[in-house]
Amino acid sequence: MPLKQKDLLGIEGLDRSDIEHIIATADSLKEVSTRDIKKVPALRGKTIVNLFYEPSTRTRTSFELAGKRLSADVINMSVSTSSVVKGETLLDTVMNIEAMNSDIIIIRHSMSGAPSLIAKELKSSVINAGDGAHEHPTQALLDLYTIKERLGRTDGLKVAIVGDIAHSRVARSNILCLNKMGVEVRVCGPATLIPAGIEEMGVEVYYRPEEALKDVDAIMMLRIQMERQGSGLFPGVREYSRLFGLNEARVRLAKEGAIIMHPGPINRGVEISPAVADGPYSVILDQVTNGVAVRMAVLYLLSEGRA
Ligand code: CP
């Protein structure tokens, strides 16, 4: 059954049954990546364009692999060598891509709402690969997949998201997704990096990890997003690390066997110690592996709806 939506613009537009459908589809597609020949013909003849206006390692690569493992033709447009540098607008750029008969356009952009803006103008499906501080829906879906895979359920779990909540599209999408899946969400960070009124999203706010991490099932650490901040929002990297960084002592506050997550890229020794990032409870690289399966599922389900 395809997704009813033409586009994946955010977790906001999905209900619990949509999320469960994507996770179940990802589960059935995950084994394709373990085969000798990592390919199925599901999207043969479809054209997918990766259009990233911001840097990316995991999201761009895994969307490319996901498309190729489903046998689609995948084009990676390099914005820095495109006519964007000559002043071509976002809308003109995507209209020209669509004129070459694209089926799906995957976009990352610094402007919140950019994916939604282009989706209104295009027949192609649009996937939001991260827009400003707004949403990063496939990250939240792969995080959810990893939580379910490791902990076996979502309802009744407690998850703490720690770090730069204010500038994080990952935090926003995860809060929306985890709430829909029956998870109790806590957010923790310096007061200057917690947006006013975030309680209205259904989270508990903490300013000390010593309280936020008590008895949680999963800890999700976030990077300080210097590229989206003005100055003076926290005292300094060393002090931030001392007050909010995840070390082995703080991990022991969580439930026995709690998993350690991070969307990447990690800043070792700042928000997470190397011993924790590489330790036995870290699922950071599982998140990356699961990203391919989840993105295969999203591409497949959106394509099915267009057939
Ligand atoms: N998690 C994430 O979005 O990583 P990239 O910026 O490398 O895509």
Q: Can you give the pLDDT at residue 286?
A: 98
The string of pLDDT tens digits covering residues 21-59 is: 999 999 999 999 999 999 999 999 999 999 999 999 999
Question: Is 68 a pocket residue for ligand 1 (Cβ < 6 Å)?
Answer: no
Task: Provide CB contacts within 8 A for 52, sequence distance 6+.
Answer: 59, 60, 76, 77, 79, 106, 107, 108, 129
Question: Which phi and psi (to 5°) does residue 56 adopt?
Answer: -165, 140
- What residues contact 72, with CB distance under 8 A and at least 6 apart? 43, 44, 45, 46, 47, 48, 103, 104, 299, 303
Q: What pLDDT sits at residue 166?
A: 94
Whether 86 is a known active-site residue: answer yes
**Has 289 been annotated as catalytic?**
no
59 lines ligand 1 (CB under 6 A): yes
Q: Read off the pLDDT of each residue in 147-176 and give the average, rounded to a whole number.
A: 97
Confidence (pLDDT) at 228: 67
> Percent of the chain having pLDDT more than 90?
92
Q: Is the CB of 291 under 6 A from ligand 1?
A: no
158 is catalytic: no
Q: How far is the CA of 75 from the centre of ligand 1 (A)?
A: 19
Number of helices (H), then strands (E), belonging to the chain: the values are 11, 9
Percent of the chain residues past pLDDT 70, beyond the cut: 96
Under 8 Å between Cβ of 109 and 54: yes
Residue 216 to residue 158: CA distance in whole angstroms: 5
Confidence check: pLDDT of 227 > 90: no
Q: What is the pLDDT of residue 78?
A: 85
* pLDDT one-digit tens code per residue, 52-109: 999 999 999 999 999 999 999 999 998 988 999 999 999 999 999 999 999 999 999 9
Residue 196: CB partners within 8 Å, gap ≥ 6? none
Look at residue 289 in the predicted model and tell me its pLDDT: 98
**What is the Cα–Cα distance from 43 to 21, expressed in whole angstroms?**
18
Q: List, for residues 192-216, the tens digit of each pLDDT value.
A: 999 999 999 999 999 999 999 999 9
